[in-house]
Structure 1
Amino acid sequence: MTTAEAYVEFATREAYGVSPAYERLSQAVAVDEELLALLDTLPPAKRQPNLLFGVVRWLGGPVDDPRAFHDYALAHWPAVQAQIRRRATQTNEAGRCAVLLPVLAALPQPLALLEVGASAGLCLYPDRYAYRYGDQRVGSGEPLIECAASGLVPPARVPQVVWRAGLDLNPLDVTNPDDVSWLDALIWPEHEHRRARLRAAASIAAADPPLLVRGDLVDDLPALAARAPADATLVVFHTSVLYQVPAPRRDAFVRLVGGLPGHWIANEAPDVLRHDALPDPPGGALHNVLALDGKPLAWTRGHGQAMTWFA
C-alpha cells in the first residue's frame, strides 16, 4: 500500500464519522505531492496518519484546516520529522477496557494482568473504572466508559486484579508532563470526552503506579510473566499493537504467548492477526477482532466505543 492509499484508507475506515478534522486532513494529505514526498523519506512505520497528526498537534500546529496544516508541516518539517522519528503512536485509551471487560470478568479470579504495548499502563485498571453497556452499569467511580454492545450480556461485576504489569519498548509515565502531553496529542481533535477520560485514568494510575518494564514483546515477555503471582490467573493482553511489529516478530510472539500459562487476549485488526471463518464486520468502519486464546469472540471498535459479540 502506498502512503497516499494509507491516508485514504484512514480517512474512509477510521476517521469517517468519528473525526471530521482527521478525515479532511487524511484526504488532503493523500493528494499532497509535497507532503507525500517528505513522508516517503521516513521509514514505512513512521508514515502513518495518527503519528503525523499527533506530532503536529503536539508541536502546536493546526489540524482543523488542511491548507494551514500543509503550510505548517512544510515550514516546520525538520522539527516534525524529528519528533516523528522519536515518538510512536502509543494511544493509551482506557475506553478499550470496555471491550476487554466481558472476557476478563469470565476468567478464573483473581487476575494478574500483563499488557504488551502498555504505553502508560492505563488499560491495566479495568477493575477501577465504571462502565455503561446500554442501560446496564458495571462498577463505580470515574471515568465512566460507555460501550454500545450487541449480542452480549454484560458482566455483573468488574474483575478482581491483584497484579498488573506492562511491557513496552518505550513506557510512558503518567507523572511526567511531557509524556501526558503526548498522550493528549494522540487523542483526536473533537474527542473532549476522551481527554476527560485520560485525565481521570491517569489520576488513578498515578496514585497506584503499575509495574512498567522497558522491553521487547518476545525477548522480555517470559521473564515478566514469571513475576506474576502463582495464585492468580495470568492474562497477557494487547490492543492495536501488533500492526507496529514486523510480521516475523509478530509470528514469534504468537508462538510464545500461546505457550505461556494462563490466558491470552488479543484485540487486533483482522489483517494483522488473522482468524479463519470470521463473520462480516458490522459496517465498513475499521474493526478489531477480540480473541481469547486464539478463538475470535467479537468485533470491536478501536477506542472501545462499540462491540458486536459473535462467539
Structure 2
Amino acid sequence: MTISEQYVDFAVREARGVSPTYERLSQAVAHDEDLLALLDGLPPAKRQPNLLFGVVRWLGGPVDDPVTFHDYVLTHWPAIEAQMLTRATQTNEAGRCAVLLPLLAALPQPVALLEVGASAGLCLYPDRYGYRYGDHQVGSGEPILDCAADGLVPPARVPQVVWRAGLDLNPLDVTDPDDVSWLDALIWPEHAHRRVRLRAAAAIAAADPPLLVRGDLVDDLPALAARAPADATLVVFHTSVLYQVPPPRREAFVRLVRELPGHWVAAEGPEVLRYDALPAPPNDALHNVLALDGKPLAWARGHGQAMTWFG
C-alpha cells in the first residue's frame, strides 16, 4: 500500500463518520505531493495518519484546515519529524475494555492481566469501569463505556483482577503531565467525551498504578508473564498494537504467546493477524477482529464503540 493509499484507507475505514476533521485531512494529505514526499523519508512504521496528526496537535499546530495544516507541516517539518521518529501512536483508549469484557468475564476467575503495548495501562482496569451494551449495564464504576453490541449476550459481571501488568517499548506515566498531554493529543479533535474518559481513567490508574515494564514483546514477555500469580488465570492481551510490529517479529510473538500458560486475547486488523474462514465485516467501520487463543469471535471498532459477535 502506498502512502497515499494508506491515508485514503484511514479516511474511509477509520475516520469516516467518526472524525470529519481527520477524514478531510487524510484525503488532503493523500493528494498532497509535498507532504507525501516528506512522509516518504520516514520509516514505514512512522508514516501513519494518527502519528502525524497527533504530533502536529501536540506541537500546537492546526488540523482543522488542510491548507493551514500543509503550510504548518512544511514550515515546522524538522520538529515534526523529530517527534514522529521518537513517539508512537500509543492511543490508550479505555473504551476498548468494552470489547474485551465479554471474554475477560467468561474466563476462569480470578484473572491476571498482562497487556502487550500497554501505553499508560488504562486498559488494565476493566474491573473498575462501568459498561453499557444498549439497555444492559454491567458494573458500577466510572467512566461508563458504551458499546453497541450485536449478537452478544452481555456479561453479567466484571472480571476479578488480582494482578495487572503491561509491557511497552516506551511505557507512559499518567502522573507525568507530558505523557498525559501526548495521550490527549492522540484523541481525535471532535471527541470531547474521550478526553473526559481519559481524565477519569487516568485518575484510576494514578491511584493504583499498574506494573509497567519497558521491554520487547518477544524478548521480555516470558519473564513478565512468569511474575503473574500462579493461582490466577493469566490473560495476555493486546488491541491495535501489532500493526506497528514488523511481520517476522509479529510471527515470533504469536508463536511465543501460544506457548504461554493461560489465554491470549487479541483485537487487531485481519490484515495484521490472519484467520481462516473469517466472515465479512458488517461494515467498513468494524475493522478489528476480537479473538481468543487464535479463534476469531467478533468484529469490533477500533475504540470499542461497537462490536458484532459471530463466534
TM class by shorter chain equals over 0.9
Give the 3-state SS of the residue equivalent to 2:53 in structure 1.
helix
Q: Which amino acid is 1:168 matched to?
A: D
Q: Distance in 2 between matches of 1:170 and 1:23?
A: 28
Residue 103 (structure 1) aligned with residue 103 (structure 2) = yes
Q: Distance in 2 between matches of 1:309 and 1:173?
A: 34
Q: Distance in 2 between matches of 1:192 and 1:124?
A: 22
Q: Distance in 1 between matches of 2:101 and 2:212?
A: 21
Q: Distance in 2 between matches of 1:179 and 1:145?
A: 23
Report the counterpart of residue 224 of structure 1 in structure 2.
224
Residue 243 (structure 1) aligned with residue 243 (structure 2) = yes
What residue ranges of structure 2 are gaps of 5+ in the alignment?
Answer: none
Q: Which amino acid is 1:80 matched to?
A: I
Structure 1 residues 140-167: Cα deviation after superposition (integer angstroms, max 9, x where no partner): 1210100000000100110000000000
Q: Which amino acid is 1:13 matched to?
A: R
Structure 2 contact 286–306 (Cα < 8 Å) conserved: no
Number of aligned pairs? 311
Report the counterpart of residue 40 of structure 2 in structure 1.
40
Structure 2 contact 166–213 (Cα < 8 Å) conserved: yes
Structure 2 contact 238–267 (Cα < 8 Å) conserved: yes
CA-based RMSD: 0.6
Displaced runs of 4+ in structure 1, greater than 4 A? Answer: none
Identity of aligned residues (%): 85
Give the 3-state SS of the residue equivalent to 1:90 in structure 2.
coil
Structure 1 residues 224-267: Cα deviation after superposition (integer angstroms, max 9, x where no partner): 00000000000000000000000000000000000000000010
Give the 3-state SS of the residue equivalent to 1:277 in structure 2.
coil
The residue correspondences of 1:1-311 to structure 2 (distance < 5 A) are: 1-311=1-311
Q: Structure 1 pair 152/286, CA: closer, same or farther in 2 (3 Å)?
A: closer
Q: Distance in 1 between matches of 2:187 and 2:20?
A: 13
**TM-score, length-scaled by structure 2:** 0.99
- What's the CA shift for 1:86? 1.0
Q: Distance in 1 between matches of 2:255 and 2:3?
A: 31
What residue ranges of structure 1 are gaps of 5+ in the alignment?
Answer: none
**TM-score, length-scaled by structure 1:** 0.99
Structure 2 contact 281–287 (Cα < 8 Å) conserved: yes
Q: Distance in 2 between matches of 1:178 and 1:190?
A: 21
Give the 3-state SS of the residue equivalent to 2:147 in structure 1.
strand
Give the 3-state SS of the residue equivalent to 1:236 in structure 2.
strand
- What's the CA shift for 1:286? 4.8
Q: Distance in 2 between matches of 1:70 and 1:286?
A: 30
- What's the CA shift for 1:285? 2.5
Structure 2 contact 130–137 (Cα < 8 Å) conserved: yes
Structure 2 contact 286–307 (Cα < 8 Å) conserved: no
Q: Distance in 1 between matches of 2:304 and 2:7?
A: 22
- What's the CA shift for 1:284? 2.1
